[in-house]
Amino acid sequence: MPAAALPPSAPIKTVLEPRQQQPLKTLCEQYAYWSSNGYEVLNNLWGKDAATSGSQCTYVDGYSSQNGVQLRSTWTWNGGPNNVKSYIYAGRQVTKGLKIASIKSMPTALNWDYSTENVRANVAYDVFTATDPNHANSGGDYELMIWLARLGNVYPIGQSTGQVTVAGRTWDLWVGYNGAMRVYSFVAASPVRQFSADVKDFFNYLVTAQNYPAAQQNLIVFQVGTEAFTGGPATFSVSKFTASVN
């Protein structure tokens, strides 16, 4: 009598643990820098000395023609609650001597997230302009900020002048001075995690409503990032940042 056939054994399953994404570049020094394809990223810890403790590292995760720059920045800052510790940013490299009045459009798109909102920080575009086309990129004659998030009890420079509508959204416009630099901050009422707009629309508004001298002002920087005050550990993540100047 033939032996009974044995039931087939169950296939062995191999489970692979997901790999941690390896960044293109790790930036942990105070002004560690990366650039490629017309974009740049700076681990800009300009105010770290105001902290009693803390640190921050920024990781450039990738670049593509469709999504621009992808990055993460992980930080913890303690002490000096009203002092900005850092403004890590991704920026579009710009051509010197380009007058705001001669720019037709400044389209940009940004997708971002924070691992926690229990921090004191913002998420904001920062655009400097100056009469001198060779002005240092740490400031200008004018500063345009677009606050997509205000996390914790932090506020822009100056005073609120009321609500305005620009680029299809309502913003609280703050106006003030940082030293001699005139600062305009458009603040969203609640976090805008997916943002797409033409930044030139904000300059057009300032020309009409604030007598901004677009014909004399050169574009110095076109950046977006997060100003960190206190809190953490927290991770700011950008899955998409694109920008261009036409």
| Spatial separation of the C-alpha atoms in residues 179 and 125, rounded to whole Å | 20
| Spatial separation of the C-alpha atoms in residues 92 and 98, rounded to whole Å | 14
| Spatial separation of the C-alpha atoms in residues 110 and 122, rounded to whole Å | 14
> Could you tell me which residues are beta bridge partners of residue 171?
164, 188
Pairing verdict, β 194-198 and 142-151: unpaired
Q: Please say whether the beta carbons of 130 and 220 come within 8 A.
A: yes
Pairing verdict, β 142-151 and 181-188: parallel
Spot the catalytic one: 17, 29, 117, 143.
143
- Chain centroid, CA 22 distance in Å: 21
Single out the residue of 117, 111, 112 nearest to residue 150, CA to CA. Answer: 117
- Distant-in-sequence, close-in-space partners of 138: CB < 8 Å, separation ≥ 6: 46
Residues in the chain: 246
> Could you tell me which residues are beta bridge partners of residue 40?
35, 91
Instruction: Clarify whether 227 is annotated catalytic.
Output: yes
Q: Please say whether the beta carbons of 141 and 244 come within 8 A.
A: no
Spot the catalytic one: 17, 40, 117, 227.
227
User: In 115-167, which ranges are E strands?
Assistant: 119-130, 142-151, 159-166
Q: Which are the catalytic amino acids?
A: 143, 227
